[in-house]
Amino acid sequence: MRAFVVFPNETEHGAQLLKRLLEQLRYDVTFVDGLEALNREGGYASHTNSIIIVPAMGPLRPGAAEVVKFAETAIGRGFVVYVADDMSAEAYKSLLRTGVGEWVTWATAAHEIVEISQRLRAGHAHSARRTATIAALLPSGGGVGNTTIALESAVYLASLKSWRSRRICVVDFNFHASALGDYIDVEPRFGIEEIYQSPDRLDGQMIDIFASNHESGVSFFVSHQTQIDYAHIDQCVIFALLDQLGERYDLVLVDLPALWFPWIDNIVSGSNGIVLTCAYGVPSVKQAAVRLRRLTDAIAPKHLSVAVNFCERGWLGGIVRRSDISAALDGQRVFYVQRDTGFAAEATNTGRPMMRINQGRGVCKDIRKIADWIDGLARAT
């Protein structure tokens, strides 16, 4: 089989590593100066099952949009692998929709190119990959109810007829002291320390071991208590986890920590939708407004929403000071979740989600609106 590496200098270190890997996989490797030059390459035109590696290296490296456009012309002629440290969610979805393209990071390139090659030779390079909808719930600070909204949204969606044949999971990235397991009375089984230094160990079998399966049909990934240093978690570990979950689930809800770490940027940019959560009150809403300004630089408005938790309702049922909150959040799509302290305490004390006790309760109706918005993201994916 033929392999084409779209890079003008095959003596560069990264290019040499790719060449050695491809030769070990028994490819006849050819370097070409660019994507346009590849279209003029006779060997590419005459081979229908070639693999095209497009590494993001050097000042003239192809952009994601250019790679997607090329992949659309490669249908029936080859399979395109874009090797880059980052790629926007929209560009990645467009690449996947071509049916002949995949994105891999530099850190996982060797392992994933081997897997892609195996699928190519088996005749189903892309069809075996499932691309889950990823919705990240990002708290503006601690104690705003981020975990509750994530798990209740998942449990509600799992109860819908339209989701009974699809799989949903919730991943809690609070590795130090996750409360999710206590909320729904499941055993924490997810051990980040087991893949912390060796993300290549993560496979489908390990995912099954890490999953805590709930009676609602939702799988929860709840961490043991650990003293792992968040700041030094390699983003490759996070990507390896999300890649595996993306192949096994249709919807992945990510419960992010309150502190911002370097790897959170890539989760946010790679998600199909973001729910920014905050509490009802001036300090928390101000924190949300600051974080919202950062998010709007990278996330399209249709993929971003805000959930204001623990809201107070007036005598007529409306949210108190709703117009002030909306103004502070720059007119962003806002969901208001009312406070129901007694009902929430009953749910946590019995280890049952509120959605399993009474979906008709006011707080559940509020959270259902958030879940319905996430459902819309999944339908559009």
| Residue spans per domain, the chain | 2-122, 133-380
Whether the full predicted model's pTM is greater than 0.75, yes or no, is no
Residues of the chain with pLDDT under 70: 41-48, 60, 123-130
- Report whether 162 contacts 376 (CB < 8 A): no
Q: What is the pLDDT of residue 126?
A: 46
CATH number for domain 133-380, candidates 3.40.50.300, 3.30.300.180, 2.30.30.140, 3.30.70.890: 3.40.50.300
Residue 341 burial class via C-beta count within 10 angstroms: exposed 0-12, middle 13-18, buried 19 and up: exposed
Question: Cα separations (Å) of 201 from 10, 132, 191, 311, 322?
Answer: 31, 21, 13, 44, 49
Q: What is the rounded distance in angstroms from the CA atom of residue 241 to the CA atom of residue 218?
A: 17
How far is Cα 9 from Cα 226, in angstroms, rounded to an integer? Answer: 45
Q: What is the pLDDT of residue 238?
A: 84
Say what the pLDDT of residue 59 is: 74
User: What is the per-residue DSSP string for 280-331?
Assistant: SSHHHHHHHHHHHHHHHTTS-GGGEEEEEEEE-B-TTSPBTTHHHHHHHTTT
Q: How many whole angstroms separate alpha carbon 378 and alpha carbon 381?
A: 5
| Residue range 234-276, pLDDT digits in tens | 777 888 888 889 888 999 999 999 988 888 887 888 889 999 9
Give residue 96's pLDDT: 81
What pLDDT, on the 0 to 100 scale, is given for residue 127?
Answer: 41
Residue 23 tokens, joined: 């030769």
Quickly tell me which residue has 């009312």 as its tokens: 338
CA distance between the termini of the chain: 33
pLDDT score for 44: 67
Domain 2-122 superfamily per CATH: Response regulator (3.40.50.2300)
Tokens of 328: 């502070």
